Structure formats: structure tokens, C-alpha cells
């Protein structure tokens, strides 16, 4: 089916208390892995293109791969700009056919973040494309951040309310204890802070840096308003692991497709794992629409989604 915007997907996620997996891609194999897992699990997905992916593959290639993959399945696929750096880049992605944008002004002063986010929202809304924004900072593990620094960078609930009122952003990435690029799941989220933000803000909330968060904490966050969860490092680790294992087994094999096929399967299984953790599996019926909550619960009770 053609690419979709996240508007209806978010509506269902908020009503039914599940989260949509938002998976970062850098090459064709990753795109294939995500879309195949989503199709088999009957789940909606975000496929995210970051700054690094744009530099590596080029904007046209990255967007083109996702469009082709989406056309081959009958589950909702959203093409999303991850951590857009400025207004101009958002316009370029809008022109390239992205169905969800993001401006990340979290490192800028509040007033500047508001001003640029509002500008991106205004132009995107002209053509019906939603915009994700970020307030507070999800820091980088590679910077050697301390627990105190992570806490100091968390999103302020009152400021989040004002930010949404001033910008009109459609979803908000919040800092509640996760850290980008963590290689093991050790972090626990500040659920009390999340509750406070949810009480002030009615838009869908987004969790970045989920690869380093404990599964129980993720489940609890979904119960309290997290509707989209970004996954990157966890997939990258799987891809590299698959390559490493096949190269060790076949060090002189010149057909690199054999190595890439294994890497793709490793990523696919991790996407499947996250889709089930987020509760988005079994949400899409055979026509590409959302099943009723009662039908989803019945399927789970019968073990049909195992």
C-alpha cells in the first residue's frame, strides 16, 4: 500500500495503549527486514531516515527504498525524518515524499526551538503532514554522561504544555531517562515524570534511545502515554553480528549477498521482537485497516499471535 501519515496510527495507539515501532534504516536490507517483519506481524511501522542515513545513502535513495518496500505490503508504513536538523532539511524531506517530519531543536534555547518548530509545522500542515518535535534532551552515551546529567536534561511537564500550545506540533519526543546509543538495556524511565507530562499534554509522546531501556520500563511507559518508540542501535548490533558470524564461517566467500542475507534475518527477528514488546502486533486486518480492540485481545487470549 502507499505510504501513510501517522495520524490514524497515533489515534489507534493512544486509544488502545500500544506503541508503534520506529526503526532506523541505512540500507536496502534493513528496509526489507523491517517491512517483512511488520507484514508478518500485522503491525504498523515507522521507517526512519536519520542525518547519517541521508549522508550515507542520499535522500532520494533512502526515500525511494522505503516507498518501494511499502508498496509491496498491506500494512501501514510511515516514512519519517529522524532528528531533522533545520527548516530547510524538513522542506527537502517533505518534497521527497516523507509522510512524517521531525525538527529537533532540543539543544537550542526554548524560544528558538519554538520558533523553528512552529515554522516547520506551518508548512507541513499545508499538505497534511504531521510533525514531531523534541523538548528536553535525550543525551548520547558516547559522551560519557552521568546520571545527574541525564536527569538535568529531562523534559519539564509545564514547559511541554506551553511548547505544544505555541508550536502546534503533532507529537512530542520527551526525555524521561533514556540515552541514545546504549549497547545494553540498563536504564529505567522516570514514569512519574511521564505521567506528569501526559497530564499536561494531549499529543502522542515519543521515546528515543529505547535500545538502552529495560523491557519492563518500556511496557510501563506505553501504559502511560508513549505511542512511538525509536529503535536504532539494537538493530545495528544485530546487523553487524550477522555479518561477523557469516564472515567467520565463510571468510573467503566473495558473494557478499550471502553475508547480507544473514544480517537481514538477524535484523528482522529483532524488529519482530520489538513489535511484540510494543504491543503493535496483530493490529492490522487483511484489508490494511485496524482491527477492533476486542479482536486483538481475543487473538492474544487464543495465542494466535505467538
Q: What is the DSSP string of the chain?
A: -----SHHHHHHHHHHT--EEEEE-SSHHHHHHHHHHHHHHT--EEEEE-HHHHHHH-HHHHHHHHHHHHHT-SS-EEEEE-SB-SHHHHHHHHHTT-SBEEE--TTS-HHHHHHHHHHHHHHHHHTT--EEEEES---BGGGT--HHHHHHTSPPHHHHHHHHHHH--SEEEE-SS--BT-SS--B---HHHHHHHHHH--S-EEE--GGGB-HHHHHHHHHTTEEEEEE-HHHHHHHHHHHHHHHHHSTT---HHHHHHHHHHHHHHHHHHHHHHHT-TT-B-TTSSBPPHHHHHHHHHTTTT-
Whether residue 82 lies in the annotated active site: yes
> Active-site residue among 74, 82, 86, 104?
82
- Annotated catalytic residues are 82
Amino acid at each position: 500500500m502507499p505510504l501513510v501519515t501517522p495520524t490514524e496510527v497515533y489515534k489507534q495507539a493512544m486509544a488502545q495503549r500500544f506503541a508503534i515501532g520506529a526503526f532506523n534504516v541505512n540500507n536496502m536490507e534493513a528496509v526489507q527486514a523491517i517491512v517483512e517483519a511488520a507484514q508478518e506481524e500485522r503491525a504498523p511501522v515507522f521507517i526512519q531516515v536519520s542525518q547519517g542515513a541521508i549522508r550515507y545513502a542520499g535522500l532520494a535513495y533512502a526515500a525511494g527504498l522505503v516507498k518501494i518496500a511499502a508498496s509491496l505490503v498491506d500494512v501501514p508504513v510511515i516514512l519519517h525524518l529522524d532528528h531533522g536538523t533545520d527548516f530547510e532539511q524538513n522542506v527537502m524531506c517533505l518534497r521527497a515524499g516523507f509522510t512524517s517530519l521531525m525538527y529537533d531543536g532540543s539543544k537550542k534555547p526554548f524560544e528558538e526551538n519554538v520558533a523553528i518548530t512552529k515554522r516547520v509545522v506551518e508548512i507541513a500542515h499545508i499538505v497534511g503532514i504531521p510533525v514531531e518535535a523534541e523538548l528536553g534532551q535525550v543525551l548520547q552515551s558516547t559522551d560519557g554522561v552521568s546520571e545527574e546529567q541525564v536527569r538535568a536534561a529531562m523534559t519539564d511537564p509545564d514547559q511541554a504544555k506551553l511548547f505544544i500550545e505555541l508550536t502546534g506540533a503533532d507529537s512530542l519526543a520527551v526525555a524521561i531517562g533514556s540515552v541514545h546509543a546504549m549497547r545494553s538495556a540498563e536504564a529505567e524511565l522516570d514514569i512519574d515524570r511521564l505521567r506528569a507530562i501526559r497530564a499536561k499534554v494531549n499529543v502522542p509522546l515519543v521515546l528515543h534511545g529505547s535500545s538502552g531501556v529495560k523491557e519492563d520500563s518500556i511496557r510501563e511507559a506505553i501504559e502511560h502515554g508513549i505511542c512511538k518508540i525509536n529503535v536504532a542501535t539494537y538493530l545495528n548490533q544485530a546487523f553487524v553480528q550477522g555479518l561477523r558470524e557469516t564472515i567467520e564461517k565463510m571468510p573467503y566467500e566473495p558473494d557478499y549477498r550471502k553475508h547480507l542475507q544473514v544480517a537481514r534475518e538477524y535484523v528482522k527477528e529483532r524488529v519482530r521482537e520489538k513489535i511484540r514488546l510494543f504491543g503493535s502486533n496483530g493490529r492490522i486486518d487483511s484489508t490494511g485497516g485496524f482491527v477492533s480492540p476486542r479482536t486483538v485481545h481475543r487473538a492474544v487470549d487464543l495465542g494466535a499471535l505467538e
